[in-house]
A and B are shown apart, each in its own frame.
Chain A
Amino acid sequence: MPALLVVLLREADGPAFTPFSINPGVILWTVVVFLLLLALLWKFGWPAILKSVEDREKRIQQQLDEAERARAEAARLLEEHKKTLGNARGEAQEIIARAQALAEKERQGILERARAEQEQLLERARKEIEEEKEKALLALRREAVDLSIAAASKVIEQNLDSAANRKLVVEYLASLEKRQ
């Protein structure tokens, strides 16, 4: 401490510099230089760097947010597509099942109808055959009567009222019946 005092005292009467001397002029210079530098940098120095950095920070944050949003959107779309795909698959199954059921029903219906038609046709054929048979019988019977009458007239021509003749006629008629 005494050394420092000596230094300070010596400072008073002349520019004797030591590492420990405090020169008031240098204090003023320091304040001036520092404040000038501070003002210049405040105006022209720091904003350039800090603004760019802040802008960049903002931009990167924005991009991160956007990426996050895009990811969420993609996940949402994927989910949606999965759901849609699932729905479509279910629907397709349903459509196929319905088509199968319909086809089965149709097949059954067609079979039913075919069978009914066949039945009908058979019925009609049978009826027609019956009718034809009736008609044929009728015609035959008429023919038989005609033939009988013809035969009878023949017989009558030969010998009227003979027992043998009558028997002949009856036998003849019976033979016709059998032939039918």
Chain B
Amino acid sequence: MTQAPPPDIGAMIFAHTSDSHVVELPFGLGEWHLPTGWRVVGIDVSPTKHVVFMGLAALLVFLTIRLAGRQVERRHQEGKAPRGFGAAIEAMVLFVRNDVAIANIGHGGEKFAPYILTLFFFILYCNLLGLFPWGATPTGNLAVTGALALMAFLTIEISGIVALGLKGYLTTIFFVPPGMTGALAALMLAIMTPIELIGKLVKPFALCLRLFANMTAGHFVILALLGLIFIFASWGVAVGSVAFVLFMMLLELLVAFLQAYIFALLTSVFIGMMRHEH
């Protein structure tokens, strides 16, 4: 009894979750082969699938906020409370602004609110795009989450320098406990300086990995569950797999919001910690 070799589900999963120069177009429109070979100072900057979806996410975020903003503004000028779409977006914006940004950054948090808000909505839309058929998750790409974490890192450190002054900022790296002098102080510096530096780097590194891992892992699980159907080629498994996939999809929906929230929240917390370091 000859049997066809089981499909290589692992390769399929990798192909589905990784970036590529090909965008699968929906509804049988075929594939869109992105141009390659763009180079800027020796770096290959040719667009990829994740770049396309990132742009789409940015466009959708901008349209969402713009439309909601217009509606809120118009109803405000009419002296009415916002409703419907505008009210929903406004509630999210206010939640992120007040309970995530300002609550964790402390006074002066309003200045960071636009950054935190953009971060939240951009990550959220990137996460959600991956849940659509034919979609891809830009936040399931280490380069994307790494870039976001890098910008968060720079924001945290620069806001620290601005808030504390250069001297105050340097004490967050070279810290000597008050009242300690001489050899003990030198010892303390020798021990604490690497720890402080590592501490500064670990935070954005964790941000980067957390978002990437959460988004990728969810897709891995969903694809693996779907892969079971093709490995076992049985209706019973298909029913069970689809039920699990449905559950995982709902979980992913939650995770999409949760991870956007966590990234925004932790960035706010780190900015707040840095600004109130004494």
| A and B from one complex | yes
Main secondary structure of the interface of A (DSSP, over half): helix
Number of A residues near B (Cβ < 8 Å) is: 37
B110-139 contacts to A, CB under 8 A, are 113-115, 117-118, 122, 138
Question: How far apart are B81's CB and chain A's nearest CB, in angstroms?
Answer: 8
Q: Majority SS of interface residues in chain B?
A: helix
- Do B43 and A25 touch across chains, with their CB atoms under 8 A apart? yes
B85 sits at the interface (CB 8 A)? no
Interchain CA distance A24-B68 in the complex, whole Å: 35
Q: Mark contacts of A50-68 with chain B using CB atoms, 8 A cut-off: 1 yes-contact digit, 0 otherwise.
A: 1111011000000000000
Most buried by B among A18, A19, A33, A50: A19
Interface size for B (C-beta < 8 A) is 55
Known: A33-B54, A52-B73. A26 touches B65 (CB 8 A): no
Q: Contact at B76–A34, with CB atoms within 8 Å? A: no
**B122 contacts A37, CB within 8 Å?**
yes
Q: Is A172 an interface residue (CB 8 A)?
A: no
When A25-B46, A40-B62, A53-B90 are in contact, do A48 and B17 touch as well, CB less than 8 Å? no
Of B141-149, B255-263, B268-276, which binds chain A?
Answer: B141-149
Q: Chain B residues near A148 (CB, 8 Å)?
A: none
Taking a contact as CB atoms closer than 8 A, the residue among A19, A25, A48 that contacts B14 in the complex is: A19
Q: Give bound CA distance, A160 to B19, whole Å.
A: 190
Per a CB cutoff under 8 Å, which of B50, B89, B151 touches A49?
B89
Residues of A within 8 A of B200 (CB): none
Q: Could you jot down 12 A-B contacts, CB within 8 Å?
A: A17-B18, A17-B19, A21-B143, A26-B51, A28-B43, A29-B47, A29-B51, A31-B150, A37-B62, A46-B113, A52-B82, A53-B94
